[in-house]
Amino acid sequence: MDRRAFLKLGGAGAIAAGTGYAWGQSAARQLPLIPMTDLTAGIEGRIALNLQSAQHDFGTGASSATFGINNSYLGPVLRVKQGQVLPFDVMNSIGDVTTIHWHGLHIPGDVDGGPHQEIEDGATWSPDVPIVQGASMNWFHSHMHGKTAQQTYTGLAGVLLIEDEGSLAADLPKTYGVDDFTLVLQDKMFDASGRMSYSLTGDTIEEGFQGDTLVVNGAIAPVAQDVPTGLVRLRLLNACNARFLELSMATGPITVIASDGGFLSSPVEVESIVMSPGERYEILVDMAAVESNALTVNLNGGDVGFFASLFGGNQSTVALHLNRTAQAGFTGAMPNRLAVLEPPKRSEATVTRSFQLDMDLGADLTALALAWDNVCGDAGAMAINGQPMKMDRIDEKVTKGTTEIWRITADEQQHPFHVHGCSFRILQQEGGAAPAYAQGWKDMVHVGEGWSEILVRFDHAAPADAPFMYHCHILEHEDCGMMGQFTVT
């Protein structure tokens, strides 16, 4: 076990010792429903997204300074359909420059919303975003270089659900707020007055910022929801800055039907799933079989080895209580088949590239944290292949229409790795087979000891002035240089 792993578990020990979950609730409050804008029937005019400064009470009784997108905290759930073009007007009123990245979308680089598409305070960015991929759960968030972590944590994030003809016709729960729920899972830190806090130290840059209180849709967990008798669908997003989360059900297995990029070939029943920051999964819960159930979250991401146990590492808390009512709900059965997924074929790849995520370039992280006021400054503390992120350097050049194998490893720690503008299939994860629930279409892969390998096809152009990114999705690592740029031409 290296020093960073020990420190991470030591942080878990601090939580166990009594400082964490300080604002957790003994009685569950009602699950907040994130407002949905359903555009599947058609789009009239441009779609306004107002990025704004606001105040929000997470449940402590105190108002915290937040960012929101059309809301006081977080953005809407946008429900759209394959084949549409989304005409956005993204208006920035947060008092600082920012960007909005469409995480998971298969789109050209000039509308991807990466760090090159800056939106000055008071300005409006108006991309026309084509929706070419099939049914999937995606999201959008700040990608302002050096400030992604701070701005996303403060609230610049929303959810984008894509439907297609197959998903709209599928025999699955799809009534939003009745049997179909979107859950944005985050960890927060609150000060003694109950206000959300965010501050960087050398350790939080090193490990990524990890809060001690679980929040669901902007409310401190646990939350509760009455649901009708039948199957209930939960669409899950880990929007933490750095925490891996392990999810399970209080009763029965967890039944996974979709991952980042869409439906699995068939449902996968497992005892638990581990979600990295940025990952999405969809699950079904059979509320005809039980009167109540609960989604539980281990904030330590399932890391319960010797040292984690020593420090009280299994820090599970209830995220969501589901309570069955007498009302009849979705009457369909658990599906047997969901999508046609051919096994990934290594032989399709014409190029193999290798990437090492570098934690330690010798920078004084404590001095960096003090000097740059909760942002990572010049972003030179971490790297990929020995090169910290530079906005004016293209690291890789990809030929459009080709399929490649990307091999990723890390010198220390576990990392979530994300590639813009595409989905991929995981060939291996951390030196072994990916879990069955992660063997569909993905845009996130876990990276640690051993090589992770992905098979990815690049179908969307990204010129040198609007390149795609690849990066660690621990947001503080990304801000501090663990990111690269590539063109597709």
pLDDT tops 70 at residue 370: no
Provide the pLDDT confidence category of residue 385 given band limits of 50, 70 and 90.
Answer: very high
Using DSSP, state whether 51 is helix, strand or coil: strand
Question: What six digits make up the tokens of 200?
Answer: 């960087």
Using DSSP, state whether 206 is helix, strand or coil: helix
Burial of 40 (0-12, 13-18, 19+ CB in 10 A): middle
| Alpha-helix runs per DSSP H in 260-401 | 306-310, 365-371
Are domains 31-169 and 346-488 of this chain identical in fold?
A: yes
**pLDDT tens-digit readout, 153-183:** 999 999 999 999 999 999 999 999 999 999 9
**pLDDT tens-digit readout, 233-271:** 999 999 999 999 999 999 999 999 999 999 999 999 999
* CATH code at 31-169: 2.60.40.420
Task: Answer yes or no: are the C-beta atoms of 403 and 349 closer than 8 Å.
Answer: yes
Across the range 393-422, mean pLDDT stands at 97
How many angstroms from the chain centroid is the CA of residue 446? 13
Exposure on the CB side of residue 191, measured as CA atoms within 13 A: 10
H and E: helices and strands count for the chain: 7, 34
Architecture of the CATH domain 346-488: Sandwich (2.60)
Share of the chain above pLDDT 90, in %: 84
Domain extents in the chain: 3-17+171-328, 31-169, 346-488
Provide the pLDDT confidence category of residue 360 given band limits of 50, 70 and 90.
Answer: confident
pLDDT tops 80 at residue 367: no
**pLDDT tens-digit readout, 114-129:** 999 999 999 999 999 9
- Please give the span between the terminal C-alpha atoms of the chain, in angstroms, as a whole number: 43
Q: Mean pLDDT lowest for which of 65-74, 91-100, 272-281, 314-323?
A: 314-323
Q: How far apart are CA 434 and CA 409, in angstroms?
A: 15
| Alpha-helix runs per DSSP H in 199-269 | 202-207
pLDDT at 47: 98
Q: Which CATH class is domain 3-17+171-328?
A: mainly beta
pLDDT at 15: 37
How many angstroms from the chain centroid is the CA of residue 131? 19
Q: How far apart are CA 294 and CA 452, in angstroms?
A: 32
Give the E-state strand segments of 142-218 in sequence order: 157-163, 180-190, 196-197, 213-216
Across the range 201-225, mean pLDDT stands at 94
**pLDDT tens-digit readout, 72-114:** 999 999 999 999 999 999 999 999 999 999 999 999 999 999 9
Across the range 435-453, mean pLDDT stands at 97
